Chain A
Amino acid sequence: MDVTITPPSEPFPGTVHPTDGGGILLSTLDDVINWARSNSLWPLVFGTSCCAIEMMSTAAAKYDFSRFGFEVARATPRQADVIIIAGTIVNKMAPVLKRLFDQMPDPKYVIAMGACATSGGPFFYNTYSVVKGADHVIPVDVYVAGCPPRPEALLHALITLQEKIKSGYTRDQIRTEMKPDVK
């Protein structure tokens, strides 16, 4: 599914009309707000297992997701914009995850990182304790495949989330109106 509305090369949503001594910028408030929001997403410090190690390495010097505006990891959900579900969600963790999500202020976004958060992954069969996908508990915006996903994959997911925000569509609009044509 292609959710690209603002091409990533475009620096600012709007058009500039050159005038003498400068220019006039034409845009809509919604676009500007979405643009600002998408470039300053504060993730919640949340990691339940091995995927969290990859998330930490994405945050560290080599991959450095602060290049895209994700550097301010918050230890409280009340100040976070995005929760990266990095790891296995077990039945006992599910109510905690729900509460964390509920405590985050709107607008809030969710990334399901790795096979566990997407579907239960390696714990799909023959286990009594693992939730088979975090989307049974909270709605998910972007899924990342992998066990664990490489930092590049997480970066791609973060950028995809930014484009999703910039597009200005709701989750339902993307699901229904932007369905790719299935032949």
Chain B
Amino acid sequence: MSNEELISKLQELLPEATLQQGNDFVELTIDSQQLLPVLNLLKSSSDLSFNFLFCETCVDWKTHFTMVYHLDSTHYRHNVVIKTNLNRELPEIETACHLYRTAELHEREIFDLFGIKFLNHPHLRRILLTDEWVGYPLRKDYEDPINMIKL
């Protein structure tokens, strides 16, 4: 499906979401509560069939976090990007790992470096840093006076 067709199709399916054509991908911005229903729909719909989560990451905008999910369809070879904003005080979102198993690993890494709490994740622990690490290094306000030399 081309990006234009994808946009019109998604508009039909998800009238309340904001759609936008990015540099390469169609970008879909949704409410964080809507994540699981939307992912479910995109995965199960037979003419979209987004069956592969090829990237999941997070962005710290200082005022809020944005979770970014990159989906791909191995049947149709089309992609979509899903974005959803999280509150900085209580960054919580449902895990995607029951729909896409690969999210388990991505979410542990995001938890490790950004401190996003993934609800219902099977084992949300630090993965790269040591267990006793304090803080989340990829947050913009992270301070480490011992290891970090500030520019």
Residues of A within 8 A of B (CB): 91-92, 124-129, 132
Contact = CB atoms under 8 A, between A and B. Distances in A.
Nearest to B151: A125
Smallest CB-CB A-B distances: 8 pairs: A125-B151, A128-B137, A128-B144, A128-B147, A125-B149, A128-B148, A126-B151, A126-B148
B76 interface: no
Contacts of A129: 137, 147
Interface in B130-151: 130, 137, 142, 144, 147-151
Given A126-B148, A129-B137, 14 more contacts: A91-B147, A92-B130, A124-B149, A125-B149, A125-B150, A125-B151, A126-B149, A126-B150, A127-B147, A127-B148, A128-B137, A128-B144, A128-B147, A132-B149
Nearest to A91: B147
Interface residues of B, number: 9
B83 to A, nearest CB: 26
B111 to A, nearest CB: 16
Interface centre among B137, B144, B149 (most CB of A within 10 A): B149
A85 to B, nearest CB: 19
Contacts of A128: 137, 142, 144, 147-148
B43 to A, nearest CB: 35
Interface in B80-136: 130
Contacts of B147: 91, 127-129
20 contacts: A91-B147, A92-B130, A124-B149, A125-B149, A125-B150, A125-B151, A126-B148, A126-B149, A126-B150, A126-B151, A127-B147, A127-B148, A128-B137, A128-B142, A128-B144, A128-B147, A128-B148, A129-B137, A129-B147, A132-B149
A95 B151 CA distance: 27
A158 B148 CA distance: 32
A129 B137 CA distance: 9
A126 B138 CA distance: 11
A148 B48 CA distance: 44
A126 B139 CA distance: 12
Interface centre among A91, A125, A127, A128 (most CB of B within 10 A): A128
Contacts of A124: 149
Contacts of B150: 125-126
A132 B149 CA distance: 10
Nearest to B135: A128
Nearest to B147: A128
A126 B141 CA distance: 12
Nearest to A130: B147
Contacts of B149: 124-126, 132
A132 B148 CA distance: 10
